[in-house]
């Protein structure tokens, strides 16, 4: 790695951290309409960073009414060299339940080399390390070893409508030899990791309606339909006690990973007991018994309910049969499953399970296919080598149970290999209270991305 | 009926209505701690009414910290005559969902001879008509034909802890020949009705906990326990699709009403289609097929979920596996069922149905047995005759699916026959938006109670 870039990284650690803190202070929660101004604020802040680090071009790309802007930037002065498209997202999940945070979600707090804040790991910290890797190289060396494009979105946590429309229409602008997504995690602390597969996601809201208005449960209980009960019955029947999803046709396209990949997963330092105790914190794991935990998380589809509400939930007692109830239900999909087909099958299953006297409606909030990446290309190999050099351990290949719709989108429209370099840790508590990012990984991430660019530019 | 009492009733209709409106304007919601001051306000207002109408004694009886006061009043200057204990409650249900009210719940509005407000029928309107019946008689005639005691509570909608402790300790103070509860409804408009049976109620809150904190559904979905799913499964299995409650031992004490009572129910003007369309407003009724709708409502136990909440329920999507979920679940009990036994059986059933990885806890919020009253006593007969004279139709005897714990309490501790005279109508929307009370029934109720006192005092 060239000396001056390396020195720049080290000399600017404190400034990089200050920049990250400024970013984390802004509650850019894409799920809550009240935070539109915060979302805009972060987009402006990132654009400002790109301008001051001498990128050739910086754009804030507004979408349709209500959509959050994309931040685009490029530096294309390395003729004959490959072009890398860097991706991250600047929006974050809602922070509730607020009372469980040790320090407030938007007042970053550093404890034990970790920075605690909503979005610290997912994905502001990881987005920002890409920016700083490029800044350091450009400022230190006066040039980049490759051509670089950035595309940073603000709707990753809510379905990414804007980017989904933007990518297919701008394949020329976004053309690249490889895309680097920095939004995943390492399998274990200190173990460099590339993610080569992601589950897809279909996220829905199911509403059940019974009587025309709330009824007195004494006067009507025993004869009037109860939509909470109906929703409970539907939910209970969508998945068996064996963890198997009971939706007709749901598994027909599900394929098992190759024997080689499964064997590699077995070699990973995974301890079920520790996973249960330290990460999940319940008394037992659930799911399909015939599959290992990693298979259940990475290569099996799931159905989860994320939230439910209906009727009286305040203090004390109200004897009411509610008129309506709602649940948020998603399905994680594995490669070769078709999201549209899954939605149809789900809708049919809900309809079939709806008891008499009840009307149900299914609304699809977001939808994205799963994706897998071949490990046999020079960009994946360069990333693995760069991470190995920084962490001084052999890089492992894993999949993730999460969904990064953009991976499928890049693959489909840009036809580029997608490299998922991630520096989060399994206990980063993404989407949960007390989300954190391990600061040494922030700095190592910057260096690994620098080395990756250098390596790709050299060949 | 004596002329001067009758004249007083008619001359003071407008003033009675003004008094009722003043009462309805105060949001004395016992379920919401924020409304403690309103609860006190209504108690003071009622005490003021008793004082100004020359009752002998008026007391506001405070309970333990946090309990709502009882309002007690008496007039005992009719030696040798029977003593009647009048009961009503001045607390009301929460008004939510607010957006469904045509006029605001605490701004009484009169439309088509109905007064719309939370508590208009349940139970401020019916409590107030008792007060006005006694006032009119006392002011008009200068005396009452019977001895009278009032006991009005402010916790009926939240389990009645205060009165439940008060009655057994004050049997001397409350001693009476009959208790009149005015908190039920007429079977149909214009059809005078006495309620001779009530269901009991066990109201619980069930909490399910899984992981130690909310988890990312992508990272953990397929292996981590989901408490909303668990609660759904428990709920789904507590009641079969046939409406039968699947709790071991639950039905062992359930008895069918006498053939005579069932035959009388068959003669009531009940139309299932109209009930479905006008009252319930759904596409079908539910419940046990082998029992008529009235049996299901009046003499069969039920299990209902009143509300459920857990996880993310805001706008949009949050991919979380929640750490906890809660449901409010009650059981209506029929005569001879023991509430304590029902709680034990319920707790055992919930525990048995709890899936691995999940912890459930059951909290009992309130509990009261069912009650039935014999129709063969002079007080019931006098009430039936008084109502017949006012409504000019033969009085029918029905049961109610609702629960009035005080009926069981009076029966058990005071050993008095309990007369449930009610002037509500089936479409009064108790506990629902747009609750109303039919004003002609308010005035007829006053007169019927006056005639009842006269008749009881004469014999």
**Is the Cβ of B118 closer than 8 Å to some Cβ of chain A?**
no
CA A234 to chain B, closest CA, distance in angstroms equals: 8
Which 291-330 residues of chain B touch chain A by CB within 8 A?
Answer: 293, 296-297, 300, 302, 304-322, 325-328, 330
Q: What is the pLDDT of residue A315?
A: 84
Q: What is the pLDDT of residue A90?
A: 98
Q: What is the pLDDT of residue B233?
A: 97
Contacts of B296 in chain A (CB under 8 A): 222-223
Give the pair of three-digit tokens for residue B27. Answer: 């949001």
Residue A318 located in a structural domain: yes
CA A414 – CA A175 distance, rounded (Å): 6
Domain end, chosen from B333, B353, B368, is at: B368
**Is the Cβ of A355 closer than 8 Å to some Cβ of chain B?**
yes
CB-based contact A21:A108 (threshold 8 Å): yes
- Flag if B236 and A237 touch (Cβ within 8 Å): yes
CB-based contact A132:A121 (threshold 8 Å): no
CA-closest candidate to residue A398, choices A262, A301, A286: A262
Q: What's the pLDDT tens digit per position in A119-151?
A: 999 999 999 999 999 999 999 999 999 999 999
List, in order, residues 6 or more apart from B371 with CB less than 8 Å away. Answer: B197, B198, B200, B335, B407, B408, B411, B418
- Whether B360 and B309 map to the same domain: the answer is yes
Q: Residue A275 — φ and ψ, nearest 5°?
A: -60, -45
* A34: nearest CA partner in chain B: B315
Q: Which CATH number goes with the domain that contains B422? A: 3.40.630.10
Q: Residue A264 — φ and ψ, nearest 5°?
A: -65, -40
CA A379 – CA A418 distance, rounded (Å): 8
Q: For residue A411, what are the β-bridge partners?
A: none
* Chain Cα centroid distance, residue A50: 24
- Flag if B308 and A308 touch (Cβ within 8 Å): yes
Which 209-248 residues of chain B touch chain A by CB within 8 A?
Answer: 209-226, 228-229, 231-233, 235-237, 239, 241, 243
Q: What is the pLDDT of residue B106?
A: 98
CB-based contact A215:B433 (threshold 8 Å): no
Which 408-427 residues of chain B touch chain A by CB within 8 A?
Answer: 426
Residue B278 located in a structural domain: no
CA A384 – CA A163 distance, rounded (Å): 28
Q: What is the pLDDT of residue B2?
A: 80
- Whether A184 and A215 map to the same domain: the answer is no
3-state secondary structure chain A: CCHHHHHHHHHCHHHHHHHHHHHHCCCCECCCHHHHHHHHHHHHHHHHHHHHCCCCEEEEECCCCCCCCEEEEEECCCCCCCEEEEEEECCECCCCCHHHCCCCCCCCEEECCEEECCCCCCCHHHHHHHHHHHHHHHHHHCCCCCEEEEEEECCHHHCCHHHHHHHHHCHHHHCCCEEEECCCECCECCECEEEEEECEEEEEEEEEECCCCCEEHHHHCCCCCCHHHHHHHHHHHHECCCCCECCCCCCCCCCCCCHHHHHHHHHCCCCHHHHHHHHHCCCCCCCCCCCCHHHHHHCCCEEEEEEEEEECCCCCCCCEECCEEEEEEEEEECCCCCHHHHHHHHHHHHHHHCCCCCEEEEEEEEEECCEECCCCCHHHHHHHHHHHHHHCCCCEEEEECCCCHHHHHHHHHHCCCEEEECCECCCCCCCCCCCEEEHHHHHHHHHHHHHHHHHHHHC
| pTM, entire model | 0.81
CB count in 10 Å sphere of residue B179? 25
- Flag if B318 and A33 touch (Cβ within 8 Å): no
Q: ∠ at Cα A94 (A204, A328), nearest 5°?
A: 20
Count CA atoms closer than 13 A to A257's CA, side-chain side.
28
Distances (CA, A) of A375 to A258, A402, A456, B69, B281: 13, 19, 16, 74, 59
- Flag if A402 and B199 touch (Cβ within 8 Å): no
CA B175 – CA B284 distance, rounded (Å): 47
Contacts of A281 in chain B (CB under 8 A): 211-213
- Flag if A357 and B281 touch (Cβ within 8 Å): no
CB-based contact A156:A42 (threshold 8 Å): no
CA B312 – CA B320 distance, rounded (Å): 7
Domain end, chosen from B368, B388, B411, is at: B368
Instruction: Count contacts between A and B (CB, < 8 Å).
Output: 372
- Whether A424 and A434 map to the same domain: the answer is yes
Q: What is the pLDDT of residue A412?
A: 87
Contacts of B282 in chain A (CB under 8 A): 209-212, 224-225, 357-358
Domain end, chosen from B312, B336, B368, is at: B368
- Whether B242 and B131 map to the same domain: the answer is no
- Whether B383 and B324 map to the same domain: the answer is no
Contacts of B223 in chain A (CB under 8 A): 275, 280, 285-287, 293, 296-297
Q: What is the pLDDT of residue A159?
A: 79
CA B324 – CA B322 distance, rounded (Å): 6
List, in order, residues 6 or more apart from B121 with CB less than 8 Å away. Answer: B185, B424, B425, B428, B430, B435, B436, B437
**Is the Cβ of B159 closer than 8 Å to some Cβ of chain A?**
yes
Residue A392 located in a structural domain: yes
CA-closest candidate to residue B407, choices B377, B368, B445: B368
Residue B127 located in a structural domain: yes
CA B432 to chain A, closest CA, distance in angstroms equals: 5
Contacts of A358 in chain B (CB under 8 A): 282-283
- In a mutational test of the B interface, the residue from A155, A199, A223 whose CB has the highest number of chain B CBs within 10 Å is A223
pLDDT < 70 stretches in chain B: none
Residue A10 located in a structural domain: yes
- Whether B187 and B226 map to the same domain: the answer is no
- Flag if A402 and B309 touch (Cβ within 8 Å): no
Q: Which CATH number goes with the domain that contains B355? A: 3.30.70.360
CB-based contact B449:B133 (threshold 8 Å): yes
- Flag if A312 and B328 touch (Cβ within 8 Å): yes
CA-closest candidate to residue A196, choices A187, A188, A204: A187
CA A231 to chain B, closest CA, distance in angstroms equals: 8
Its domain, for residue B121, covers: 3-198+370-458
Q: ∠ at Cα B453 (B451, B458), nearest 5°?
A: 95
- Whether B351 and B377 map to the same domain: the answer is no
Give the pair of three-digit tokens for residue A2. Answer: 């060239």
**Is the Cβ of A70 closer than 8 Å to some Cβ of chain B?**
no
pLDDT < 50 stretches in chain A: none
CA A224 – CA B279 distance, rounded (Å): 10
Give chain A's length: 459
Contacts of A320 in chain B (CB under 8 A): 93, 306-307, 431-432
This complex has an ipTM of 0.81
Q: Which residues of A340-365 are buried (b: 16+ CB within 10 A; e: fewer)?
A: eebbebbbebbeebbbebbbbebebb
Distances (CA, A) of A110 to A18, A42, A113, A421, A423: 12, 21, 6, 24, 17
CB-based contact B161:B67 (threshold 8 Å): yes
- Whether B243 and B105 map to the same domain: the answer is no
Residue B291 located in a structural domain: no
Torsion of CA A208, A213, A214, A219, to 10 degrees: -120
Distances (CA, A) of B445 to A82, A433, B118: 89, 57, 19
> For chain A, how many structural domains are there in total?
2
CB-based contact A70:A91 (threshold 8 Å): no
- Whether B184 and B104 map to the same domain: the answer is yes
**Is the Cβ of A138 closer than 8 Å to some Cβ of chain B?**
no
- Whether A236 and A146 map to the same domain: the answer is no
- Whether B125 and B240 map to the same domain: the answer is no
CA A432 – CA A93 distance, rounded (Å): 9
- In a mutational test of the A interface, the residue from B29, B270, B319, B426 whose CB has the highest number of chain A CBs within 10 Å is B319
Residue B99 located in a structural domain: yes
Residue A163 located in a structural domain: yes
- Whether A226 and A165 map to the same domain: the answer is no
- Flag if B310 and A308 touch (Cβ within 8 Å): yes
């Amino acid at each position: 790695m060239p000396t001056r870039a390396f020195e720049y990284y080290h000399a600017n650690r404190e400034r990089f951290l200050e920049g990250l803190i400024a970013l984390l202070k802004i509650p850019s929660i894409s799920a809550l309409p009240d935070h539109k101004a915060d979302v805009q604020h972060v987009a402006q802040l990132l654009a400002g960073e790109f301008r001051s680090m001498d990128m050739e071009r910086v754009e804030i790309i507004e979408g349709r009414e209500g959509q959050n802007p994309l931040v685009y930037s490029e530096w294309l002065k390395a003729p004959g060299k490959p072009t890398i498209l860097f991706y991250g997202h600047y929006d974050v999940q809602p922070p509730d339940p607020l009372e469980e945070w040790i320090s407030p979600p938007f007042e970053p707090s550093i404890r034990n080399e970790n920075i605690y804040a909503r979005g610290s790991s997912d994905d502001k910290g990881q987005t920002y390390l890409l920016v700083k890797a490029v800044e350091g190289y450009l400022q230190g060396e006066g040039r980049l070893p490759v051509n670089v494009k950035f595309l940073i979105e603000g709707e990753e946590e809510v379905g990414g409508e804007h980017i989904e429309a933007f990518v297919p229409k701008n394949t020329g602008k976004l053309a690249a030899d490889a895309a680097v997504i920095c939004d995943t995690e390492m399998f274990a602390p200190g173990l460099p990791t590339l993610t080569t597969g992601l589950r897809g996601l279909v996220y829905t809201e199911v509403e059940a309606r019974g009587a025309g208005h709330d009824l007195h449960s004494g006067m009507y209980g025993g004869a009037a339909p109860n939509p909470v009960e109906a929703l409970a019955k539907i939910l209970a029947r969508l998945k068996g006690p064996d963890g198997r999803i009971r939706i007709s046709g749901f598994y027909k396209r599900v394929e098992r990973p190759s024997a080689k990949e499964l064997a590699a997963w077995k070699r990973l330092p995974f301890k079920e007991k520790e996973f249960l105790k330290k990460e999940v914190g319940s008394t037992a794991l659930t799911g399909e018994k015939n599959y290992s935990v990693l298979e259940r998380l990475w290569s099996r589809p799931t159905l989860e309910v994320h939230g439910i509400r209906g009727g009286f939930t305040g203090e004390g007692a109200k004897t009411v049969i509610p008129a309506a109830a709602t649940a948020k239900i998603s399905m994680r999909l594995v490669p070769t499953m078709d999201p549209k087909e899954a939605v149809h099958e789900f809708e049919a299953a809900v309809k079939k399970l709806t008891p008499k006297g009840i009307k149900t409606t299914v609304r699809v909030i977001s939808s994205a296919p799963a994706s897998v990446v071949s490990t046999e290309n020079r960009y994946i190999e360069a990333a693995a080598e760069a991470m190995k050099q920084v962490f001084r351990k052999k890089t492992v290949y894993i999949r993730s149970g999460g969904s990064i719709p953009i991976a499928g989108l890049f693959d489909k429209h840009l036809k580029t290999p997608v490299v998922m370099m991630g520096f989060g840790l399994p206990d980063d508590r993404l989407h949960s209270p007390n989300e954190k990012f391990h600061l040494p990984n922030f700095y190592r991430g910057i260096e690994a991305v620098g080395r990756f660019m250098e390596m790709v530019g050299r060949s």
